[in-house]
Chains A and B, each alone.
Chain A
Amino acid sequence: MTTRCTAVPADAAQLTVLMRSLQEFAIAVALDASQARSFELALEEIFMNIVMHGSRPGIAPRVEVSLHRDAESVTMIVEDDGPQFDPLSLPPPDVTASLADRKVGGLGVFLVRKMMDSVSYARIAGRNQLRMSKRFDG
């Protein structure tokens, strides 16, 4: 099993650090391009949610991203010590709405749920933990 872990403050500028780490992991475990893209999207959506909703004035949560690969799947766990927030509790967007009525809120999390095989949230020891897995089809 291969594991990689990176921690950064919840600041938008730090996404490139996490992205680089994910891309290195993707190469190390030979993820195909389409799987790597799915994890990149999940990382951006979940991290930016924490940046926008998890910060209190003057205090940015610390975000830790760990990546694991075993024989069957790749798992990404995003943990932060910000206020309790379950992104999976957001109502799903209406993806059939017309151009005029279409809203973008909630779309990021919706895409993550669609692209991953499993997504689960837990609040553990004062931290939000979102676990996302996708079966390895290589």
Chain B
Amino acid sequence: MNLRIEATGNVTYVAPVGRLDFDAAPGFQEALERLLGGAGERSAAVIIDGTALEYVSSAGLRAFLLAARAAQRSGIAFALCALQPAVREVFELSGFSRIIPVHTDRASALAQTPPGRA
């Protein structure tokens, strides 16, 4: 799976392209953990833009869960936006939309995401 990563000021947008299945999930998780933890320059907020994310299975949800925990540990705000309907359904049914904020688009994600302390 390809990721488009775009840093604007102290916010980083990550746009996964394609299918987040069992095969793609480990690489996605690793990329997010690089942005959310460890050394180096960090953003105050990481926002996942789901415009081009077509599919998420439970393996993909696991990657999001671990990323959200890494963000919490690092004091980085973490949110999702612009999910396609099928992906939003997976987040709602699994209850993940209650533990990770989901916004309609980048603008509302930005407005409602208080920057973390990183």
Please report the total number of B residues contacting A with Cβ < 8 Å: 23
Residues of B within 8 A of A89 (CB): none
Q: Mark A11-34, 1 if CB is under 8 A from B, else 0.
A: 010010000000000000000011
Q: Which residues of chain A have C-beta atoms less than 8 A from B58's C-beta?
A: 45, 104, 107-108, 111
Q: Is B17 an interface residue (CB 8 A)?
A: no
B94 and A95 contact, CB distance less than 8 A? yes
Chain B nearest CB from A51 CB (Å) reads 9
B5 interface residue per 8 A CB criterion? no
Q: In the bound complex, do residue B55 and residue A107 qualify as a contact, i.e. CB atoms below 8 Å apart?
A: no
Name the residue of chain B whose CB is nearest to the CB of A48. Answer: B22
Min CB–CB distance A24 → chain B (angstroms): 17
Closest chain A residue, CB of each to CB of B54: A37
Partner of A95, one of B62, B72, B95: B95
Interface string of B48-67 (1 = CB under 8 A from A): 00000001011101100100
Q: Are A96 and B86 in contact (CB under 8 A)?
A: no
The DSSP consensus for interface residues of chain B is helix
| A121, CB-defined interface residue at 8 Å | no
B94 contacts which of A33, A38, A111 (Cβ < 8 Å)? A111
Contacts of A95 in B (CB 8 A): 93-95
- The residue in B69, B72, B95 that gathers the most chain A C-beta atoms within 10 A of its C-beta is B95
Query: For the complex, is A85 an interface residue (Cβ under 8 Å from B)?
Result: no
Whether A115 and B93, one on each chain, are in contact in the complex, defined by CB atoms closer than 8 angstroms, is yes
- By a beta-carbon cutoff of 8 Å, the part of chain B in contact with chain A is 21-23, 55, 57-59, 61-62, 65, 68-69, 72, 85-86, 89-90, 93-95, 98-100
Could you list which residues of chain A lie within 8 angstroms of chain B, going by C-beta atoms? Answer: 12, 15, 33-34, 37-38, 40-41, 44-45, 48, 93, 95-100, 102, 104, 107-108, 110-111, 114-115
